[in-house]
Structure formats: structure tokens, C-alpha cells
Chain A
Amino acid sequence: MSTREYTTFYLNDQLFAVDILCVREINRALDITPVHHAPSYIRGLANLRGQVITMFDLSEKMGRGLQPLGEGTFNLVLKTNEELAPIRDRENRPELYTASKDSISFMVGEIGDVIAVDAADIHESPANHSDIDGEFLSGVIRSNDSLINLINVQKVLEFHTEDDPSLVTA
């Protein structure tokens, strides 16, 4: 059975993971320019070496409240779909999917270890476990006593117009 690697990180005190193949880089907090009228989980835009990246509040998106800004917050910059495409083909992993064009950065808490997991050790996530909408998780990994929630990146990044306050209130 194939082994996959995951980057783990904390949102609040809970451990989450995304497939390491989706991650372009991890860095410390950047200066964020807020964008008024943006959906609440878009905290703003930041400049990453000349590239504008969209700061995505994963915690807020999953209904767990805003990620506090500051020292303890890290940026998990994702590969764009374009960058991911060759990897997806090479690894034959059609589920590896991020945002179409934008450079997205997940704003997360402390970064954990990179873990290697057998595909067999990934279990279906229990419905509504730990108050997280199950649709945002693609599974859970059992590690020692704890559960690591596996983020369904594609699902999380899906953009619905109803998320957009300016479209709702207009």
C-alpha cells in the first residue's frame, strides 16, 4: 500500500493535515491588506515576493471562528492548480486539486510534523466530528491517541456565491 505524506498543523488545539503535495511553502505571518466586502474567511491579500496571495482563513471557513493573527499564525501557501497539474498526473491522484488560478494561503496555527501515512490508515471521518462540517474533511488519520483531520482542500476552496456578502446584500 502506498504511503503518503501530510503536513500537519493546528487550528486552535486541534490537529489537521493537508497532503504535502499541495503545499508550496510555509512561512510566517505576512502583512495583510484587508479587503472590504470580501467573504469573512478571506482575511485579505498579502505580498509574497511580488505575488499577491489570497489569505484564506481555514478556521473561519470551517465554522470554527477567526484565526487569531500574530506570532502564532503561519501561512501554508498552496500550489495553484496549474502547478499541481503535473504532479497530479504523475502521481495519478485526481483528488489533488486546489484553486484554479489564485495563489491561496491557509492561515493556520502552529505547524506540526510531516507525517507519512499508509493509505490504509486513513479512515472515513465521523459525521460532524469535533464540530467540523464533515464535507470539509476527506478523512481522519489515527495517530497514537488522537485524530488528525484530513482537509479536503478542493471542498474547502470551493467558492459559492452565497459566501459573498456583497452578492447577498445587494
Chain B
Amino acid sequence: MMDESLLQEFVEESREHLESIEPDLLELERSGENTSDETINSVFRAIHSIKGASGFFGFENLKHFSHVMESVFMMIRDKTLSPSPSIVDVLLKGIDRLSEMVNDINNSESVNVADEQAKLEAILNSSFDADDNADDSTSEPSAEVAPAEESEFQKPAETTGDCPFDLNTPAVEHSVTTGQILYAITVYPKKDFSDTTPIAMLENLATVGELHQACTPHGENLVIDELPAHLDGETSSYETVHLLYGSVLEISLVPAALNLPEDQVVEAKDFKVSSLNENAAEAENTEVPDNTNNPFNFDADNVIHAKTGGQFLYVLAVKPEDFADKPVEGFIGTLSTVGTFLEGYTASKQSLTGQALSDELNNLAETTYILYASVLEEMLIPATSGLAESAIWPATTFTLPEGTPEPSPQQAPPQVTTPELIKPNKPVEVSTEHAAPPAKEPPSKTPATKSSSSGTSQESIRVRVDLLNRLMNLAGEMVLLRNQLTQKLANESSQVDGLGTVLQNINHTTTELQEHIMQTRMQPIGNVFNKFHRVVRDIARSLEKEIDIEISGNEVELDKSIVENLSDPLTHLIRNSCDHGVEPPDERVKANKPQQGKINLRAFQEGGQIIIAIQDDGRGIDAEKLTEKAIEKGVITQAEADRMSLKEKVNLIFHPGFSTAAKISDVSGRGVGMDVVKTNIEKLGGTIEVDTEVGMGTIIHLHLPLTLAIIPSLVVGVQEHQLAIPQINVVELINVRKDDVPKKIETVGSASVFRLRGKLLPLVKLSDVLGLTKTYTDPVTGEERDDRRLSLSERRQLMEHPEVEFAEDGRMMLPRDNDSGDRRAEPYQDLNIAVLKLGGKQYGLVVDHVRNLEEIVVKPLSQYLQGCKCYAGSTIMGDGSVTMILDVGGVAEQARLDFSKVEKEEDNREKADKAFTRNGSVEMDIILFALSNDDDADQFAVPLQQVLRLEKFALENIQLVGNKEYLTYQGHSLPLIRIDEHLPLDKHSKDTDEKEAYLILPRPKDGEREGQAAIIANRIVDVDTIAVTLESSHMKHPGVRGSAVVNDVITTFIEPEGFINANTPSLSQGSQPIHIAFPG
């Protein structure tokens, strides 16, 4: 039936209208009666356009529903209704239903809007029972008619008031309450009875409904029994007879049932005075505008039909030269399908209608002005007709241009737009029931027209997305080819004259081409953001909270596919903030917060990525509660929880199927959790981070790439292989000089870690991840790397099993750096570490080379490679080679990176630092040692985290310088400290007859200096995790932090570094001990 593309146009336009309504509605709610007229009018216009067009396309459900909506907006506009939140609620719901219908336009008839419609009608009725009271089913009929110009029952005849029908009679009311729909039927006695008789028609009417009233075009009531005579073309004295008819039939069925043209049956509420006026005009000629200045006859039947059918009237100027290069038939054909030529006007031939008009058009000899009716909006006319915008006017604003050739005498005045002329035309803009108010109405009340848009036709066209995608792919390939071309010709450019310039131009043009094609896919993030005003409002209302959302960065642009896929995750996050974050008002007041919660949603660009922050000032995430919940749900075990760092605990919200809401609310907490959000964001190549403070609020950061297809990447090398890392994951690049390698690299668990500004950064070797170890010369440890790894983890196991054992050489007990004595001569190499970001976590990827940053076009992975978790895709580099793109998460997975251990270690170190300063019980890992082998020797403890190394050494290796003891250790002289020399103790460690002892080398706090001095321990008692409550010790000495009972023995707790610093003043002055070999 309908042209599919036209329909598509309608759907897209309606969508735009609906999108524009929502913010206006929210504004309406905020500002209430103070809302600017412009806002209200724009809402009104938007809904009106939908109604008009849907009527034209025959979407009755849509039309009816939008009509009811429109009626409510009309009341708001006329200030007869104040937009309370509950009314806005209903209206918003209504908009939702309209969207639903529009989005699936072909099924729009089956969308059930009864609920919303009833509510809307209740609004209409409660404030005043005006023109819509005859609406479908529920409203009470009334003879009262609104004074507004939209009144559909206005009627020129004074005798019977404004309405031709009395809708207040018991019979009519009964008809309505029994579910009948009231129709106004227009019968033309002279035309409608060619194949039926008035009596047959009336009988027909009686079988499917009830004929209530009849009236003449002048509004005089007719006795129903006399109708046959009035309807008979022979005897009737009337041009038309109007019938008020109640029937259960839907409007689409009535014309068929009665064998009348569709346009002669309208719902009574839609019944237009214009159809009365058509004839009334004859009777009351004095009221009709003076037509002498008007080139067109706006009162012609076809014009009125067009107007009442919801079409817009335009005047088109057609010149013969317009068709110099195209056939006029095409023009006529196109415009005929989407509208009607009503009347032509040429200066010489004057008014032309019907056949004369079409003849004139086909043999265009001079500029002709055509009155044209169409459902198309003004902005669509130029494209449809192929005419210039300047040749098209809305009929309301048309004035015959000055200098029109051979102006006819009575149209001489060029300004034709007299008020009288405008009035009848203006409503053309506003279709159906508001169309064509009688001329006597004050023009000021007519709805604002869209003529304002005439100058702002959009400079845009709609393009299929797949075409854009194809273009983008081609542009990507073009870039690659350009790169290859440039490389290949780099050497030739000096030999061929001008080649260099050409290459440079190609270079620039290609880059620009690519950028612009990318831009075609860029969309402002506001497209997604804007809906959150509504979302937050709705949620806040349903939760009875007060929440304000502040949105900024609407203009930030992202690739279309990213913008589209952001909607769901963002909605989820915003809902979470509203539901779980922001507290109910009373709770907020108690917490000394403003009653109204605040959510801040912003987007901004930072480097090559977009950051979206969602911040609320709510109650924050209680990591401990979260952990409890997780244990309760079996998501993690208690033991796992104990090992978790705070951040990790917070990150539990990303665990699949985990929902913290104590109660499942309407809004969220249905178990579809943050894990989905995380997955979705990661699918977009982005990352998500949560920062929260209990009682203060939560902020969630999303980092997103600008576009999916082309991403800036860091190109790194390992051996002869080259790989790309998406820049969005790269935090920084670190080069560790080989001298610093032993100082800065440690081992925690099975992972190497790098101390980066006080944090521990787990390291992953790219070569290990790729399985390149066979031919790989480890930059840290040389080819023995594999062996060392084994031993490292073995040593780690010692840590995990408190029964302390020692390696054969007695040297190792604690995890150590790579710089133990026998390996100190190893040639360390510089380390290149790319610090990579994975959600809230970071790790360092050790690579051989860092090459450059390059914009790469991501190509999806072959299905055969789907199992290779380390790769996100592949790309073709400038030199034409294929390069794999690393997946930062996959690499961590492949390396089985255990962040929890590292974070736990970090926590422990922090705890140990705090342990001595905090009161109460603190759990910590400690090394228990004694100064002699006697069982009753004094027992000491140092926190494990403060110890860098614990090594056995032969006492005979101690060298004496003056009265100070030194040990040659890793090529340096290491001063040794005996605790008993500084503390008031009975037993002296020197008295031992043992040959061996241990040295405790403290971990330097700033990560820079090490090997200052070591404490001698004669016997290691235990390494254990214990809960300690420190009491002040009787031994007051720097570095002694207190004492506690451990395993029934009073133990003195030493902070090793502090103790050493306090007791080796010479060290802090930086003096170097002198080496003098001294026979042991």
C-alpha cells in the first residue's frame, strides 16, 4: 500500500519527535507553569506531527492515542492544566507507548494502550470535560465546549450554540457508556445515493449502531424521522447532512459498513467544524476572508479535504527551466504519489484546476505557482520535488513575488499575506481536528506553525550504516596501502622528480579521508546521556528518593557502535547508583547530607580515549559487607576472602550473578549484575574501575576507545616477533637499568613483581606468555631462567608452609631477589616494562623492545585462533606484515597472574608498617628468632614484610673493623648488628659455640637503598602468622616497638630498619667501612 521509504521516513521522523519530547517534558515538570511557551509548543508540535502523519498512514491506534496525548498537552499549553509530576508520569508513559508503536509501526495497531489512554482521559476529564469527552470509551459526554479554538464542535450557526450535536442527551450518554464510539457522518444527498437509497442507508445504520442526531450544515437539528427526505438528492435542500451516530464498529469499519467514502466518517470528537464551514461559508459569506488578494481558492472542496486529511499546504513555484534537464512527468509523478496538486496559478492564465492544471504542467510555458497538498513536512519537499527551497513556501506564508510577470489586475499587490489570508491557511500546518478553524477565530490562539523551520532545513542525509562500515573498512585498507606505498617508494623519491610531493599529498589526503570517514560514524554521547534525566527521574520517583542528575560532556563523540552499546551498561550503572547508592531522604538527612542525592554523569576525552565517570554521593560500597555476602553466596570462600585486598573485595561486585541489594527492588538487584556491565564494556575495548568510600559515595570510571575499528597501539617486540598493545591499556613505559634490576624486582608467590612508587606491580614476560622460552635468553637471569623459576616457587612454598626449611646451602628461606651471592656476576640486561591496565589492576609486561605508537586497523581473529586468549585481533602494519594484537586480559590469564597474592602482599606490608603504630590486635607474619641456641634465650620477632632477606652464614666469615663486625656480602661490606649489644640482655650471642648464624636484612622502605646493615640472629624459631597485641616493652630503645607473648614466650618486637638506623650512626652519614681481612 504505502510507499515503504515514505513510511520509513515517517517512522524516523516520529522517533526524532518523540526523542525531542522527553527532555521537554522533564523541563515541563521542573518548571511547572513557568515553562516557556516555546517548550510547550515544541512538545505540542511534535506530538501533533505524529498524530497528523499517523492519521495519513492509517495507523489508527497511533493516531487516537497521540490525539489524546495532544489534548492533554493542549490543556497544559492553555494553562488549564498544570503539569504535576504525576501528570508528567502519565505523559512520559504515554510517550513510551508511542515510541513502542512507532518503533514497530506495522504492529502498532496491536499495542495495547488502554491503561495509558484511560489515565490520560482521566486527566482530561478531571480538569475539564472539554472537547475530548466523546473519546472512545470512558469519558463522559458533555455539551460543554471549551472556548479554545481547537473545539471540534464549533459550529457557525448561532442558534444552537457552538456544537451541532447535543452530546449530553441520555441517549448519547448511554451509547457511550455501553462502549459505542460516536461518529460524525457527513452525507452528501446529491452524491452518496447513486447505488443505494436513503432508507437503505438508514436501515443499514440501525443494524450496526444507533443514529442519534442529525443536523444541517448550518447546525439546525433535523428530525430523524424526516431524514429520508433530507437525504434524498431530489428533495433535499441541503448540500450535506451531518449525522451523529454511535456504533461499536471501529472507525475503519464504519465507512465500509455504510458504503460511504472514508473521509465522510470521523469520530465525533474529531468532527471538524471545517466540514461544516465549507458550506457555512456560502451562507455567511461576509465572515469569509476577502479572497481578492488570494491567488488560490482555499475554500475549494479539494483544498478543504486536503486540510482536513491532515495534509500540509504548500505553494510551489515551477518554472519551465526547472525541467530543462529532466522530464516534467517525473516531477508530476513523484509529487502525485505523496500529495495532490490542488490549483495552479499563472500570471497569464490565472487559476487552473483539474485537467487544465495538469495540461499546464505538462506543457509548462511560464512560471506557475501551484497549490500543493502533501503529508510531507516542509523540509522534505525540496528533496521530493527536486525544486529549490526558495521555490517552496508553506501556503500560509506565500506571497506572490513582486515582479511576477503579467500580474493580473486584482492580484497586483505583491504582499498577499494579509491576516485574512493567513487564518484559513495556518491550521493546515496543524492537521485534522485543529485544522481550519473558522475565519472569525482570533488568530493569536492558533498553534504555532512550523514556518520557523523553513530557513533551517538540515544539511544532512540519511546513509545506511553498512555503507559507512564498508567505507570505513576501505579507508582502513587505504591507509595500510598508503603506508606500504610510502615505504616502498621512500628510496625512489629522490630519483623521480616530484614523486616526494605526490607521496606527501597522498599521505595527507589519505589521512584526511580516513579521519572524515571515521567522523561520519561518530556520534555525540549525548544521544545516550540524555535519556538519563528521564531514567533517574523515574527511578527516583518509584523509590521515593530525591535524586538530581547532572550531565556534562554531551558533545563528546564516540563511534556509533560504541555509543549504541553504551546504553545498557550505563543504564545499569545509573540505576545502581540510584537504587543502591543514593540513600532515602531521611537516611541522608541523618547522615548530614543534603536530602537530595546527586548523580554526576560526565564524559570527557583524555588522550586517545573517552572517560565516562558516574559519580554518586550515596552510601558507597561496603567492601566487608560485600565480602560477607560473597561468602554467604558461595561466590568465594572465607579463605579466599582473607587473602583479598580491599580493592579486590570491592571488585567482587563484578562477580557473575552477584547482587548486593538486600532487597530486590523494582529497579535493580535482579541478579543481572555488574558482571554484565563489565563484560559489555570490555567487549567495547574499554575498562571499568570502581572507587568507593563508605558513606561518601561511589565513582565509576569507564575508559573507552574512541572507535572500535582503528585504535592507537603500542608496538612492542620480543625476539623477532612484533606485537601490538591497544594504547588504552597502556599506562606507562618503564625502562629498568640493569643495575637496578636486582633492587627493584622481587618475587611474590610465583610472580616477579616490580616496586613502582611504593606499589607492587606483578610482572609478566611476554616471551613466557607466547611460549618462546626455548630460544630465549632471559634478560634477568640468562638461560637458567627456568631453573630459577622452579626454585623460586619452591622457596615460595616454604613461605606458605610455616615449617621452615632451608635449601641445601642454607642460604635461602625467604623469597628473594635475583641477586643472591653466587649470581651477582650475572649480566643483567635492561628491562622494558609496559605497565598495562586491566580494570582497576595493573601489571607489567616485560618486552624486549618498545617500538612505536601506530594507528592500527583491527581485524577480527580467525575462528581457529579463538582459543588463543592472548590475542584481541590482528592487524596489518605499515610494512605490510601481519601483527597480532595482544589482549591485555588474556595475557594475564595466560600467565595465570594472581593479583590477589600481590595485593595481599601489599596489604600486609602496609599492615606491618601500621602494626607498630596501631593499638589492638593486629595479624601479621613474623619471623621469630633467638640470640642463642638455649631454649630459654630471649625471643625476638621481626615482621616478615619488613625483611628483605634471611640468610645463613658462617660466623667465621665475620670480619672485624675496630669493634664493628662486617660481612662481605654481594661484594659489599655489610655491617652486622647484634641486638644484645644494644639492649640490656643477660645472654650474649657472641658466647655461642655454633659455627653458623643468620643475618636479617631489612627491606628498605623507599625501595632505593638496601644492604645498609643486617641483624644477626643465632637461631630461627619459627615463621608464622599470628595475632599480636603489642604492649610497651621494658626495653626502651629505638627500633624496639614493644613486646607480646608469642607461643607462651615473651617476645620483643623489633622494627629492623629502625633498629639498625638507630645503632649504626656512621651508616646514616654514608661513610664506607674499610675492608680489612681479619682471620676468623
Contacts and interface: CB of A to CB of B under 8 A. Distances in A.
A167 B866 CA distance: 10
Interface in A10-61: 31-39, 42, 44-47, 50-52, 54, 56
A47 B864 contact: no
B486 to A, nearest CB: 15
Interface string A134-170: 0000000000000000000000000101011111000
24 contacts: A32-B882, A33-B881, A33-B884, A35-B865, A35-B868, A36-B868, A36-B870, A37-B771, A39-B864, A47-B882, A50-B477, A52-B859, A52-B874, A52-B875, A52-B882, A54-B862, A54-B864, A101-B860, A163-B864, A164-B864, A165-B867, A166-B867, A166-B868, A166-B894
B867 A52 contact: no
B419 interface: no
B867 A42 contact: no
Which of A104, A166, A167 neighbours the largest number of chain B CB atoms within 10 Å of its CB? A166
B772 interface: yes
B695 to A, nearest CB: 42
B882 A102 contact: no
Contacts of A37: 770-771, 867-870, 894
A3 interface: no
Contacts of B653: none
Contacts of A163: 864
Contacts of A32: 882
Interface in B764-783: 770-772
B863 interface: yes
A38 B771 contact: no
A35 B884 contact: yes
A62 to B, nearest CB: 15
Given A50-B477, A50-B481, A33 B867 contact: no
Given A35-B871, A37-B869, A164-B867, 11 more contacts: A35-B884, A36-B868, A42-B865, A45-B874, A47-B881, A50-B480, A50-B876, A99-B863, A159-B863, A164-B868, A166-B867
Contacts of B554: none
A19 B884 CA distance: 32
Closest 6 CB pairs of A and B: A164-B867, A50-B477, A36-B770, A33-B882, A54-B862, A45-B882
B237 to A, nearest CB: 71
B303 to A, nearest CB: 53
A38 B865 contact: yes
Contacts of A51: 477
Interface string B846-873: 0000000000000110111111111100
Nearest to A50: B477
B1029 to A, nearest CB: 45
A16 B513 CA distance: 46
A167 B867 contact: yes
Interface residues of A, number: 31
A164 B894 CA distance: 14
Contacts of A52: 859, 862, 874-876, 882
A158 B859 CA distance: 21
Interface in B468-506: 477, 480-481
Contacts of A100: 863
Interface of B: 477, 480-481, 721, 770-772, 859-860, 862-871, 874-876, 880-884, 894
A92 B1040 CA distance: 89
A33 B883 contact: yes
B868 A47 contact: no
A51 B882 CA distance: 9
A46 B875 CA distance: 10
A48 to B, nearest CB: 10
Which of A34, A50, A102 neighbours the largest number of chain B CB atoms within 10 Å of its CB? A50
Nearest to B863: A159
Which of A34, A56, A161 neighbours the largest number of chain B CB atoms within 10 Å of its CB? A34
A164 B863 CA distance: 11
Which of B480, B863, B865 neighbours the largest number of chain A CB atoms within 10 Å of its CB? B865
A95 to B, nearest CB: 20
A39 B864 CA distance: 7
A47 B876 contact: yes
Nearest to A161: B867
B6 to A, nearest CB: 32
A42 B862 contact: yes
Nearest to A167: B867
A102 B864 contact: yes
Nearest to A99: B863
A161 B868 CA distance: 11
Contacts of A46: 882
B636 to A, nearest CB: 21
A47 B158 CA distance: 86
Contact of A102 (B481, B770, B771, B862): B862
A164 B861 CA distance: 14
Contacts of B770: 36-37
A52 B477 CA distance: 11
Contacts of B860: 101
A30 to B, nearest CB: 9
Contacts of A101: 860, 863
B771 A47 contact: no
A163 B867 CA distance: 9
A5 B721 CA distance: 41
B862 A45 contact: yes
Contact of A38 (B477, B868, B875): B868
Interface in A83-106: 99-102, 104
A10 B1013 CA distance: 72
A52 B871 CA distance: 15
Contacts of A56: 864
A56 B863 CA distance: 12
Which of B860, B864, B871, B875 neighbours the largest number of chain A CB atoms within 10 Å of its CB? B864
Contacts of B884: 33, 35, 45
B15 to A, nearest CB: 32
Nearest to A45: B882
Nearest to B859: A52
A66 B876 CA distance: 25
Contacts of B871: 35
A45 B881 CA distance: 9
A42 B863 contact: no
Contacts of B864: 38-39, 42, 54, 56, 102, 159, 163-164
A51 B480 CA distance: 10
A28 to B, nearest CB: 15
A39 B432 CA distance: 69
Contacts of B481: 50
